[in-house]
């Protein structure tokens, strides 16, 4: 008990939670350890039981502790084993939160309604042959017209991660090297680990992959590179046309002349940045993914995968021995959403609202001394002094965000949190104040973020 008392410097809910959080993350408290009761700890600290209770709620909200009723409160055990490693480290968010900015998902209120599209779909799902084209012709026509470069062929798969997974299956073998952005989307790292692929992290700045670091990684002979051209998750940066051309030039040289480019354009029509792809310069070895989860709804589970027939056709062939194809009924719904005026207007409105929320957040953060660039899409990447302390302090304020460590390809270095700015309320100033206070609790002045995040 005395160890608890000695560690707790600030006897507020946030201060108590932060101190216990440090004991847990340092290993001095281990999974399964029982914690003092609320009344006992409150008596030792000389605070009200409500103060300790709020601290316990904050720790539970970030997945560090769990209450077992009359059995007591314990340090949380590990996440379920069936989850991939990075997902296990992200599962900490449990229980209710006043404001959840951790999910990285679109605001459901901004998605176009499915009812009108569903009402126009035929009552019967008709597939005359199991060997019909895997994409309905009318959807193919719409996608080809909107693709960022002339593409040889396009197919439909079950979401962006399915497209990335199948692309890697088609172009890599166990032990191959793959360039990844650092930071990047955590499931990419899990996927590479499960496929036995070695990741080569390359830093990201405000324009995309850093060319000098990219060139150094290319010398190691990677088979593929995975990048996010727009609204990068987690930083919210979008690649400039100039940077895309630089990277394409590097990929034409020497051993890099056979490296396959896999692009995840997951935010597409809600991005404020111009459409950009390395396929403009390297169409013969670019696999471009366009997801509709953030624009039209995650549960549609659909993404378009386009590229040269030599790369796409083996993927289509392999799918015939598994799921076969993505439901043509769902494809018909997607086609309706991509061509109907009301749906197009809703997506356009969502893009403007996300832009406004990101701008409001960046402006408010600057007021509180946190100098950040306005991000694209729905996520913002913020530097913090201590990731776990920031999570706990925000949870004590009723705000949940995602810790930055799962997004980093390498351990060590600066700490971050990811904020889903797309889920912000209209009044962002109180949230920005809480974010700034959690990011730098002991500093009176916050230094600007540099051009490079990793």
Q: Are 268 and 180 members of one domain?
A: yes
Residue 445 located in a structural domain? no
Per-residue confidence (pLDDT) for residue 454, from 0 to 100: 36
451: Cβ contacts below 8 Å, ≥ 6 apart:
205, 206
HSE value, Cβ hemisphere, 13 Å, CA-based, for 239 = 30
Nearest CA to 227 among 156, 268, 178?
178
User: Rounded mean pLDDT of 239-253?
Assistant: 96
Q: Which of 339, 363, 379 is the last residue of a domain?
A: 339
pLDDT cut 90: percent of the chain above it: 63
Per-residue confidence (pLDDT) for residue 444, from 0 to 100: 38
179-221 residue pLDDT tens: 999 999 999 999 999 999 999 999 999 999 999 999 999 999 9
Q: Are 373 and 327 members of one domain?
A: no
Q: Are 165 and 211 members of one domain?
A: yes
pTM score of the predicted model: 0.83
Per-residue confidence (pLDDT) for residue 256, from 0 to 100: 81
What CATH number is attached to the domain comprising 29? 1.10.10.10
68 neighbors 32 (Cβ within 8 angstroms): no
Domain coverage including residue 25: 2-75
Residue 43 located in a structural domain? yes
Residue 313 located in a structural domain? yes
Query: With 50 as the cut, is the pLDDT of residue 451 above it?
Result: no
Q: Are 103 and 246 members of one domain?
A: no
Strands 153-157 and 303-307 come out as: antiparallel
User: Rounded mean pLDDT of 439-454?
Assistant: 50
Q: Are 323 and 349 members of one domain?
A: no
Query: With 70 as the cut, is the pLDDT of residue 64 above it?
Result: yes
160-181 residue pLDDT tens: 999 999 999 999 999 999 999 9
393-409 residue pLDDT tens: 898 888 999 999 999 99
Q: How far apart are the C-alpha atoms of 18 and 389, rounded to whole Å? A: 5
Residue 259 located in a structural domain? yes
Query: With 60 as the cut, is the pLDDT of residue 29 above it?
Result: yes
Strands 198-205 and 177-182 come out as: parallel
Classify 255 in phi/psi space as left (phi over 0), alpha (psi -120 to 50) or beta: alpha
Per-residue confidence (pLDDT) for residue 443, from 0 to 100: 57
Q: Which of 320, 339, 358 is the last residue of a domain?
A: 339
Give residue 324's pLDDT band: very low, low, confident or very high (50, 70, 90).
confident
Q: Are 244 and 119 members of one domain?
A: yes
Q: pLDDT higher for 388 or 82?
A: 388
Give residue 14's pLDDT band: very low, low, confident or very high (50, 70, 90).
confident
Query: With 90 as the cut, is the pLDDT of residue 124 above it?
Result: no
Residue 195 located in a structural domain? yes
HSE value, Cβ hemisphere, 13 Å, CA-based, for 280 = 15
Q: Are 209 and 230 members of one domain?
A: yes
Q: How far apart are the C-alpha atoms of 232 and 246, rounded to whole Å? A: 18
Per-residue confidence (pLDDT) for residue 174, from 0 to 100: 93
Token pair recorded at residue 109: 């209120």
Angle between helices 309-319 and 160-171 (to 10 degrees): 110
Q: How far is CA 425 from the centre of its chain?
A: 20
Residue 8 located in a structural domain? yes
Give residue 446's pLDDT band: very low, low, confident or very high (50, 70, 90).
very low
Burial (CB count within 10 angstroms: exposed 0-12, middle 13-18, buried 19+), residue 22: middle
Q: Are 96 and 175 members of one domain?
A: no
59 neighbors 394 (Cβ within 8 angstroms): no
Q: Are 225 and 279 members of one domain?
A: yes
Q: Are 229 and 317 members of one domain?
A: yes
For the chain, what is the domain count? 3
Query: With 80 as the cut, is the pLDDT of residue 250 above it?
Result: yes
Q: Are 312 and 404 members of one domain?
A: no
Q: pLDDT higher for 93 or 426?
A: 426
Where is average pLDDT lowest: 86-95, 160-169, 267-276? 86-95
Per-residue confidence (pLDDT) for residue 447, from 0 to 100: 40
Report the chain's mean pLDDT, rounded to a whole number.
89
What CATH number is attached to the domain comprising 369? 3.90.1150.10
24: Cβ contacts below 8 Å, ≥ 6 apart:
59, 64, 65, 75
Per-residue confidence (pLDDT) for residue 448, from 0 to 100: 40
Nearest CA to 420 among 206, 183, 233?
233
What CATH number is attached to the domain comprising 182? 3.40.640.10
Per-residue confidence (pLDDT) for residue 189, from 0 to 100: 95
Q: Are 245 and 162 members of one domain?
A: yes
69: Cβ contacts below 8 Å, ≥ 6 apart:
none
194 neighbors 172 (Cβ within 8 angstroms): no
Beta strand spans in 183-298 (E): 198-205, 208-209, 224-227, 260-265, 286-291
Residue 71 located in a structural domain? yes
Q: How far apart are the C-alpha atoms of 358 and 343, rounded to whole Å? A: 23
Per-residue confidence (pLDDT) for residue 156, from 0 to 100: 97
pLDDT cut 70: percent of the chain above it: 90
Per-residue confidence (pLDDT) for residue 63, from 0 to 100: 76
Residue 175 located in a structural domain? yes
């Amino acid at each position: 008990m005395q160890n608890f008392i000695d560690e707790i410097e600030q006897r507020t809910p946030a201060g108590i939670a932060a101190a216990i959080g440090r004991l847990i993350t340092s290993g001095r408290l281990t999974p399964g350890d029982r914690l003092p009761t609320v009344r006992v700890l409150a008596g030792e600290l000389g605070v009200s039981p409500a103060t300790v209770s709020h601290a316990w709620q904050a720790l539970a909200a970030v997945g560090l502790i769990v209450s077992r009723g009359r059995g007591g409160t314990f340090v949380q055990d590990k996440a379920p084993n069936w989850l991939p490693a990075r997902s296990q480290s992200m599962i900490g968010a449990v229980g209710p939160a006043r404001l959840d900015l951790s999910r990285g998902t679109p605001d459901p209120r901004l998605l176009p309604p499915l009812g009108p599209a569903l009402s126009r779909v035929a009552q019967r799902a008709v597939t005359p042959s199991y060997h019909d084209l895997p994409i309905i012709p009318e959807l193919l026509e719409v996608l080809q017209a909107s693709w960022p470069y002339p593409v040889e062929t396009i197919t439909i798969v079950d979401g962006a991660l399915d497209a990335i997974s199948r692309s890697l299956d088609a172009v890599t073998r166990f032990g191959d090297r793959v360039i990844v952005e650092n930071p990047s989307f955590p499931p990419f790292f899990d996927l590479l680990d499960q496929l036995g692929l070695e990741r080569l992290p390359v830093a990201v700045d405000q324009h995309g992959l850093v060319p000098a670091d990219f060139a150094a990684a290319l010398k190691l002979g990677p088979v593929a590179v995975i990048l996010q051209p727009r609204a990068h998750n987690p930083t919210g940066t979008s690649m400039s046309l100039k940077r895309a051309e630089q990277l394409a030039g590097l990929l034409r040289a020497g051993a890099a002349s056979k490296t396959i480019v896999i692009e995840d354009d997951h935010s597409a029509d809600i991005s404020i940045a111009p459409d950009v792809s390395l396929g403009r310069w390297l169409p013969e070895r670019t696999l471009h993914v366009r997801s509709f989860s953030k624009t039209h709804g995650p549960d549609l589970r659909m993404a378009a995968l386009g590229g040269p027939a030599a790369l796409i056709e083996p993927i289509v062939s392999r799918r015939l021995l598994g799921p076969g194809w993505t439901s043509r009924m769902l494809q018909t719904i997607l086609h309706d959403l991509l061509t109907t005026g009301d749906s197009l207007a809703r997506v356009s409105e969502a893009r403007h609202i996300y832009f406004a929320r990101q701008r409001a957040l960046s402006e408010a953060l600057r007021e509180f001394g946190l100098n950040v660039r306005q991000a694209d899409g729905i996520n913002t990447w913020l530097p913090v002094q201590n990731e776990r302390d920031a999570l706990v302090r925000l949870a004590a304020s009723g705000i949940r965000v995602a810790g930055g460590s799962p997004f980093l390809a390498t351990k060590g270095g600066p700490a971050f949190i990811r904020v889903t700015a797309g889920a912000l309320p209209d009044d962002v100033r109180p949230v920005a104040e809480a974010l700034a206070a959690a990011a730098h609790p002991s500093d009176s002045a916050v230094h600007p973020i540099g051009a490079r995040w990793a």
